[in-house]
């Protein structure tokens, strides 16, 4: 009886593995991210446990400069430095397919890494719906980009130095507007980005995710390149593919993908951070 049972057990085991693989729609490898995202993975960043605490954002490149995550951001910096040799990439949009995939964390750490390399770096908090960039550096965001767009204060007066780093600055988001996409789609934003491009060596722009709202797609037309952040074990293949398609429709220049949280096992739940379509 035992030999006859072995093939059945083997078939059932293979069937279970196939079903499990079919149901697991999450991006879990570099090859999968490149296949569905249509761009090269420039860096794989391991999970940092404190990232789960959204009330305590961590710039690991500054707090733990010798950690594996910090080393991954150095690798990302090197990859972008090579890309910048081929063409002038001075304004880079950092976004993700959906929420809570690590775009603001990636932008903060990448900015710190370029500043450590001696470049004058500006971080722009352009997520006008749920601005969070200021929390990473303890800066107030009540006045900033929207203040400049509306002409209420000169742009230069709204740029804030980040404490402890003479090469790193931030332009906060300003007061959240009732119509973010429409405000970002105006000529004034293009003029502001053009001015910032002349003032800094590198301008990194944080935006909402691609799929829930149209802000990132609108902004991608006004920058030199777009960096797409994907959370391993969380971002679905369909979401990544749809995000890449939406950016492709406006001919956005996606310079690469960051595969984030690569050491996490399985798909963790969200963080209560959601975007609406209203």
User: How far is it, in rounded angstroms, from Cα 250 to Cα 70?
Assistant: 33
User: How far is it, in rounded angstroms, from Cα 73 to Cα 85?
Assistant: 19
Residue 26 pairs in a beta bridge with 236
For residue 201, the 8-state DSSP code is S
Q: How many CB atoms lie within 10 A of CB 10?
A: 10
What Rg, from alpha-carbon coordinates, does the chain have? 20
Q: What is the pLDDT of residue 87?
A: 85
Q: How many CB atoms lie within 10 A of CB 52?
A: 12
Contacts of 244 (CB under 8 A, 6+ apart): 36, 37, 38, 39, 228, 254
Asked if 208 and 127 touch (Cβ cutoff 8 Å), the reply is yes
pLDDT in tens, the chain (278 residues): 545 555 666 666 665 555 455 446 999 999 999 999 999 999 999 988 755 555 668 899 999 999 999 999 999 999 999 998 888 899 999 999 999 999 999 999 999 999 999 999 999 999 999 999 999 999 999 999 999 999 999 999 999 999 999 999 999 999 999 999 999 999 999 999 999 999 999 999 999 999 999 999 999 999 999 999 999 999 999 999 999 999 999 999 999 999 999 874 433 333 333 444 33
Q: What is the pLDDT of residue 223?
A: 96
Q: What is the pLDDT of residue 50?
A: 58
What's the pTM value of the predicted model, to 2 decimals? Answer: 0.86
Q: What is the pLDDT of residue 76?
A: 97
Q: How many CB atoms lie within 10 A of CB 270?
A: 11
Question: Of 24, 20, 25, 23, whose CA–CA distance to 236 is shortest?
Answer: 25
Q: What is the pLDDT of residue 3?
A: 56
């Amino acid at each position: 009886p035992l030999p006859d049972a072995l093939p059945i057990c083997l078939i059932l085991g293979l069937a279970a593995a196939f079903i499990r693989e079919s149901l697991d729609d999450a991006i879990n490898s570099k090859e999968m991210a490149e296949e569905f995202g249509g761009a090269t993975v420039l860096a794989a960043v391991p999970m940092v446990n404190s990232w789960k605490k959204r009330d305590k954002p961590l710039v690991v490149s500054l707090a733990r400069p010798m950690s594996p995550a910090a080393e991954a951001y150095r690798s990302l910096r090197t990859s972008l430095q090579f890309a910048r040799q081929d063409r002038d990439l001075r304004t880079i949009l950092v976004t993700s397919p959906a929420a809570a995939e690590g775009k603001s964390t990636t932008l903060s750490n990448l900015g710190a890494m370029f500043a450590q390399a001696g470049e004058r770096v500006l971080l722009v908090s352009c997520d006008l719906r749920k601005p969070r960039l200021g929390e990473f550096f303890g800066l107030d965001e009540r006045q900033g980009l929207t203040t400049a767009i509306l002409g209420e204060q000169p742009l230069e007066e709204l740029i804030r130095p980040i404490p402890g780093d003479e090469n790193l600055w931030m332009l906060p988001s300003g007061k959240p507007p009732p119509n973010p996409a429409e405000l970002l789609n105006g000529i004034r934003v293009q003029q502001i980005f053009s001015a910032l491009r002349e003032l800094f060596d590198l301008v990194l722009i944080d935006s909402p995710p691609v799929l829930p709202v149209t802000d990132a797609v609108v902004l991608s037309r006004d920058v030199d390149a777009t960096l797409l952040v994907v959370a391993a074990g969380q971002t679905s293949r369909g979401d990544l593919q749809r995000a890449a398609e939406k950016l492709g429709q406006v001919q956005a220049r996606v310079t690469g993908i960051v595969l984030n949280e690569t050491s996490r096992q399985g798909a963790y739940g969200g963080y209560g951070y959601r975007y609406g379509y209203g």
